[in-house]
């Protein structure tokens, strides 16, 4: 992995953990997702116009289909993630989602994209699984303070969706050649359309979110695309089996935020699980890939 790609991923990790903290604080649902997606479309519109002015991009049905597919996957991702945050703690759901997602993405990269990770991936994968075991509350005796079954299931389900959109978007930016900024912006436009019927039915809830959590909505709207555009840029020149695990240094950041800023309990066990997953992901990265 190049220093440029690693720098992008480290920056993305801090930004990603921050917007997840804001999302957890808002405790929103589909209406809140529509709100921050709509705000993202508006906030990033000037950058999209500038990009298209300097680098005109042809629009064909392949690009449209890919963006629609990405919109569906990301809508599902935010929906499951928000359900998880309502069911459990940030320091549980976030590491589970971010830890299992890249591990599954590496498997998908081998089976679907033909990448060949080296043996270090296997050791890293075992540590990721061990971290999931600890965070799920099965690895220790403090079940009362551990994750609820619902939170664990939502965290793992989010990881599956993360692996799916990572592989999909990798093909979009490196195979088809869609610019990361345009892909993310188009995906947000698609989410706005997909969630519009829900937002219209929940206008009172939408108004409440704006009155009570407008700063969280604006923060997520600004930081969420920024984090993923950085990741997509790195994906253009780096294999999924490197990018997917490396970006998950945000696991430790997110866990620390949940424990320190939200006062979530069982800190020792949760940090142990997060540290195990992070070490495993580092081994996956340093193990490299044969192709």
In the chain, where do the E strands start and end? none
What value does the mean pLDDT take over residues 219-238? Answer: 87
Residue 112's pLDDT band, with cuts at 50, 70 and 90, is confident
For position 139, what pLDDT does the model report? Answer: 45
Q: Flag whether pLDDT at 32 surpasses 70.
A: yes
Residue 142's pLDDT band, with cuts at 50, 70 and 90, is very low
Question: pLDDT exceeding 70 applies to what percent of the chain?
Answer: 71
pTM: 0.75
What value does the mean pLDDT take over residues 202-218? Answer: 92
What value does the mean pLDDT take over residues 76-83? Answer: 87
Residue 96: alpha-carbon gap to chain centroid: 11
181 neighbors 251 (Cβ within 8 angstroms): no
15 neighbors 226 (Cβ within 8 angstroms): yes
For position 46, what pLDDT does the model report? Answer: 96
φ/ψ of residue 115, rounded to 5? -75, 155
Q: Would the CA dihedral through 236, 40, 160, 279 be positive or negative? A: positive
For position 93, what pLDDT does the model report? Answer: 77
Give which of 283, 279, 289 is closest to 131, Cα–Cα: 279
d(CA 37, CA 48): 15
- Counting runs of H as helices and runs of E as strands, what totals does the chain give? 11, 0
Residue 146's pLDDT band, with cuts at 50, 70 and 90, is very low
For position 190, what pLDDT does the model report? Answer: 94
């Amino acid at each position: 992995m190049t220093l440029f790609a690693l720098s992008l991923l480290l920056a993305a990790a801090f930004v990603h953990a921050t917007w997840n903290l804001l999302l957890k604080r808002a405790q929103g649902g589909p209406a809140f997702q529509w709100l921050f997606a709509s705000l993202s479309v508006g906030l990033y519109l000037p950058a999209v116009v500038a990009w298209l002015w300097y680098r005109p991009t042809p629009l064909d049905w392949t690009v449209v289909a890919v963006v629609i597919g990405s919109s569906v996957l990301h809508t599902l991702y935010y929906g499951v993630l928000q359900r998880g945050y309502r069911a459990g703690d940030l320091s549980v759901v976030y590491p589970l989602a971010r830890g299992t997602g890249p591990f599954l993405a590496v498997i998908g990269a081998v089976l679907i994209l033909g990448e060949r990770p080296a043996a270090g991936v296997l050791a890293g994968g075992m540590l990721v699984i061990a971290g999931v075991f600890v965070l799920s509350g099965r690895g220790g005796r403090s079940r009362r303070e551990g994750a609820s079954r619902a939170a664990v299931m939502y965290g793992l389900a989010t990881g599956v969706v993360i692996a799916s959109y990572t592989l999909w978007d990798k093909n979009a930016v490196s195979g088809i050649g869609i610019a990361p900024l345009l892909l993310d912006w188009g995906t947000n436009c698609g989410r706005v359309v997909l969630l519009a019927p829900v937002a219209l039915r929940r206008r009172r809830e939408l108004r409440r979110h704006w009155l009570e959590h407008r700063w969280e909505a604006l923060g997520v709207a600004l930081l969420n695309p920024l984090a993923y555009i950085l990741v997509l840029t790195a994906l253009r020149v780096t294999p999924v089996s490197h990018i997917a695990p490396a970006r998950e240094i945000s696991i430790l950041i997110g866990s620390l935020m949940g424990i320190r800023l939200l006062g979530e309990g069982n800190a020792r066990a949760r940090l142990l699980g997060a540290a195990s997953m992070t070490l495993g992901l580092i081994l996956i990265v340093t193990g490299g890939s044969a192709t």
